[in-house]
A = this chain, B = another copy of it.
Amino acid sequence: MTRIWNDPADFADEMTDGFAAANGRHVQRVTGGVVRSTESPRGQVAVVVGGGSGHYPAFGGLVGQGLAHGAAMGNLFASPSAQQIQAVAKAADNGGGVLFTYGNYAGDVLNFDAAQERLRAEGIPCATVAVTDDIFSAAPEERHKRRGIAGDLAVFRIAAAAAEAGNDLAGVERLARLANERTRSIGVAFSGCTLPGAEEPLFSVPEGRMAVGLGIHGEPGIDETDIPTADGLAELLVAKLLEEVPEGIAAAGARVVPILNGLGSLKYEELFVVYRRVAQLLEAAGLVIVDPHVGEYCTSFDMAGTSLTLFWLDDELEALWETPVDAPAYRRGSVTPAQLKAANGNGAADADAVPESDEASREAAGTVRAALEVIAATVDANVDELGRIDAVAGDGDHGIGMQRGAKAALAAGSAASGAGAGTTLARAAAAWADKAGGTSGALWGVILTGVAERLGDHGKPTAADVAAGVADGAKGVMDYGKAEVGDKTLVDALVPFAEALQRNADAGADLPTAWKAAAEDASRAAKATAELLPRMGRARPHAEKSLGTPDPGAHSLALIATAIGELFEGRNHHA
């Protein structure tokens, strides 16, 4: 469990501050994460990694000469926002374009893709290689759906070495992709981890048992067994990885880098006992071990568990692997020290001036702020439940992410004093997306931005304006998240909500009435997502737990829609 924090909501920021303070020789704090504190050659491709916090040394500990140029560091187990990623990439850019590489999780993909589009719009060339090394997270024929775990290290290092060697963006992307194609991992866990301030672990494994194939945020594994001996564990890990030798490689005589990774509480001593047998087994299979790695490379807070990665070298990759590295948590060989950079100036942008608005819209802005208060209070009251239901099939960050987003939105909306309704909500939307991180943060940013644009800063918004805004938001979410109704996501509740709102507004209902009916539809639809269904093709040993557990995104949308409906009704009463 996590024991030490101040305000849990500040944990990720304070952690990043302390990390940067302790590692000034290697990294520099910038908005959104860290970049190297050392100069890179002009024109060198910048390798930007990132993801949620709680996986140290991933991701900030891997920034430094010979490794990443920057890391976007999200909240705990939550993707960094597109704003964070964009800010880090701009601070890391050396004029040679940016290669994004990160573990393949829905929230990260959404946010990195959005950042990539914005940077391209600004004229910065970008490419992306999402890491998909976890062989138990999807079948071989769906490799693109697999999650990224400790195999990140192999792909990050090759990308960085390729940049260091002077490759252009296309060359770096090709080599990073090749590294990803030749990296396979499998993980096991003996216990869950508890995020700061949480009452309970994200998930648990029964005493004496081992979950096989479990993800680094507690995503369901594919099997559960008794805890084996150290040798038995080595045999399981090696056997599974040798069942999936990458295409075109003969195992006998192949050169591999084994990475035996500790997830947090399984200690080095135990890892070495396991590695002893791993090395024997790899050699018995005719493999040649190159530069073995045993340690913590991608953790899950204090989860007790381990993963084994095999990185199958070819001559080109092996030559790149010898590139020296000097990062806070990862050093290889002897780096020629580069000059320290001057302090980096990607600090927070100045607050824009508030655009002009009329009295009617400023009055409506009061309603927007009241709604933001209701949202924040609703999320606060349900944060534990949202985390719990997300932990059934996801990474358990939904409650915390929603809470940070809603709190930041309320603060930004309140700070926009004198603004019209549209600007007030637009700022709240941007703050939500930035602070919440993760998938849900990005999607709520899209929804609220859609509504904000229809509200505008002039005139009293009508039910039709609101309905059109929600419809725009729903369309944006579907485009952005590539989800359809029936995929058991937020969309399942959002689309019926938007449609009912539109229908009732078209029929001439006032906003409270139209909203109430729409909220009821959303609640029904959210409940329907609770039907027991495998998600993303994964087997679910904990499936019994998810009986009756709705999709957390759909559920929180329904809760918020209902609470705002009550606000509107209450106001009506008093009006």
Contact = CB atoms under 8 A, between A and B. Distances in A.
A301 B269 contact: yes
B22 A279 contact: yes
Contact of A276 (B21, B260, B267): B21
A190 interface: yes
A176 B402 CA distance: 53
A384 interface: no
Interface string A1-37: 0111110000100111111011101000000000000
Interface string A259-282: 010001111111111111101000
Interface residues of A, number: 62
A422 to B, nearest CB: 38
A134 interface: no
Interface string A314-342: 00000000001010010101111100000
Given A231-B6, A265-B265, A334-B337, A273 B11 contact: yes
B292 A3 contact: no
A32 to B, nearest CB: 17
Given A22-B275, A294-B22, A304 B17 contact: no
A279 B21 contact: yes
A273 B294 CA distance: 26
A265 B299 CA distance: 12
A18 B304 contact: no
A267 B299 contact: yes
A241 interface: no
Interface stretch (A51-59, A95-103, A154-162, A475-483): A51-59
A198 interface: no
B304 A274 contact: no
B3 A269 contact: no
A368 B260 CA distance: 46
Nearest to A274: B4
A575 B472 CA distance: 100
Contacts of A227: 3-4
Contact of A267 (B2, B229, B279): B2
Contacts of A6: 229-231, 273
Given A265-B265, A279-B22, A4 B272 contact: no
A218 to B, nearest CB: 16
Given A14-B230, A22-B279, A334-B334, A5 B273 contact: yes
A302 interface: yes
A233 interface: yes
Interface in A181-211: 190, 196
B302 A267 contact: yes
Contacts of A190: 3
Nearest to A57: B268
Nearest to A228: B4
Nearest to A336: B334
B230 A269 contact: no
Nearest to A2: B270
28 contacts: A2-B270, A4-B266, A11-B273, A14-B273, A14-B276, A15-B269, A15-B270, A15-B272, A15-B276, A18-B277, A18-B294, A21-B275, A21-B276, A22-B260, A22-B279, A22-B292, A22-B293, A56-B272, A264-B267, A265-B265, A265-B302, A267-B302, A268-B329, A324-B334, A326-B334, A334-B334, A334-B335, A334-B337
Given A6-B229, A11-B273, A14-B272, 19 more contacts: A2-B267, A2-B269, A2-B270, A3-B190, A5-B230, A6-B230, A6-B273, A11-B269, A18-B271, A21-B275, A21-B276, A22-B272, A22-B294, A23-B292, A25-B291, A57-B268, A269-B301, A324-B334, A334-B335
